[in-house]
Amino acid sequence: MTSRPGPSTIEEVAQRAGVSRSTVSRVLNGVATVDPKMRRAVDDAVRATGYVPNLAARSLVTRRTNSVALVISEPASGIAGAEFLQRIFSDPYFGRVTAGAQHVLRATGVHLVVVPADREAHDFVLSYLRQGHVDGVLFLAGGDEHGLPHALYEMNVPVVLSHRPSAALPVSWVDADQTIGGRLAAEHLGRLGRRRAVVLAGPPELAAARERLAGFRAAAEGLGIAVAVVHGDYSARSGTAGGRRILAEHPTADAVFAANDLVAEAVVRVLVDAGRHVPADVAVVGFDDSTTARDAVPALTTIRQPVEDMAGEMARLLLDRIRTPDQPARGVMFAPTLVVRETA
């Protein structure tokens, strides 16, 4: 039997490319000042030899894992375990966040690890992050519940939040102006002549839910629109329950502003099943502009958050923080827009 040859080495790559070992290292580490001809020669040699960098050894030198965590926390919903995981993987919002972050991270060779952080997993998540498995955290939640963002800051873990911190927490963040989103929904319904609206709001302990409701109420008051509020969460189940409450408690409502598109789609189904015409009898506006909004029948009028762009900006801010830990925290605010389809 012939012995199988061992893996190629960096010296073999250097010899084949006709450059020094240090030049190969600089190319593999993405140093921008390497001469383009040398870079191409090294790339060709890597492909020809089948060389695979020893990432474990490299991490001992750079103290980098080339991985970041997307921590998804929704403690306000009160769900945990399998139900929490089902919520994450069924809500198109989380898929959009992952896609937007991946688009930026993959271009830099950084891996994304999704870490669910329900109530039951709080200590596990902190332990995992404390052990240095990732270089930083994209923290996705509507508020500072559980104190996780503060704990990460105290641990000196680079972190970027998907919301503007409610307290004086000096970490970078990305958000959409939720107040403007609520205002856009009210103004659109006002232009349609609607005067009796029900807001199926998200959990009041979440900043985004409070801000959307405040923006809607402020604009509705100026337009002479009466507003009733029903609090729930961001699930289709909550939308079904909210729709039934509208029929029972607010039968003359002619407009609904829903917490998100999943809620809006469920409300439309309840109203239509009860014999209401959408939008002739009741106009419905969702929030997010997810695939749910586009695929629903009828297609949902909604407030668009540029979620993929927001997640990509989060990734860029985190990479900057990892490279330059001492830079000041930054906040980036995106503007939502109205997307008119068939329900309003």
Residue 5 covered by a domain: no
Burial call 118-138: b when 16+ CB within 10 Å, e when fewer: bbebbeebbebbeeeebbbbb
Task: Give yes or no: residues 220 and 170 share one domain.
Answer: no
Weakest mean pLDDT among 44-48, 63-67, 102-106, 195-199: 63-67
Q: In this structure, is residue 2 part of a structural domain?
A: no
Question: Residue range 168-189: average pLDDT?
Answer: 94
Amino acid at 34: V
CATH code assigned at 156: 3.40.50.2300
pLDDT at 196 over 60: yes
Same domain, 256 and 170: no
Distance CA 343, CA 186 (A): 14
> Do the domain assignments include residue 258?
yes
Say whether the peptide bond before residue 279 is cis (omega within 30 degrees of 0).
Answer: yes
Q: Are residues 267 and 295 in the same domain?
A: yes
pLDDT at residue 205 above 70? yes
Q: Does residue 62 belong to any structural domain of this protein?
A: no
Both 189 and 247 in one domain: the answer is yes
Are 185 and 259 contained in the same domain?
Answer: yes
**Do 261 and 118 have their domain in common?**
no
CATH code: domain of residue 33: 1.10.260.40
For residues 48 and 191, membership in a common domain is answered with no
- Let me know whether 136 and 116 are in one domain: yes
Is pLDDT of 180 > 50? yes
The residue with tokens 């900057």 is: 320
Residues 300 and 190 grouped into a single domain: yes
pLDDT score at 119 = 66
In a domain, residue 185? The reply is yes
Per the structure, the complete domain to which residue 326 belongs is given by 67-176+307-335
Span 81-108, pLDDT tens digits: 566 666 666 678 888 999 999 999 988 8
Does the residue 28 lie in any domain? Answer: yes
Mean predicted confidence (pLDDT) in 102-127 = 83
Within a domain: residue 325? yes
Task: Please state, in angstroms and rounded to a whole number, the distance separating the CA atoms of residues 44 and 38.
Answer: 10
| Residue 284 belongs to some domain of the structure | yes
Which SS3 state, helix, strand or coil, does residue 167 take? coil
Domain count along the chain: 3
Q: Are residues 314 and 167 in the same domain?
A: yes
Least confident of 1-10, 256-265, 305-314: 1-10
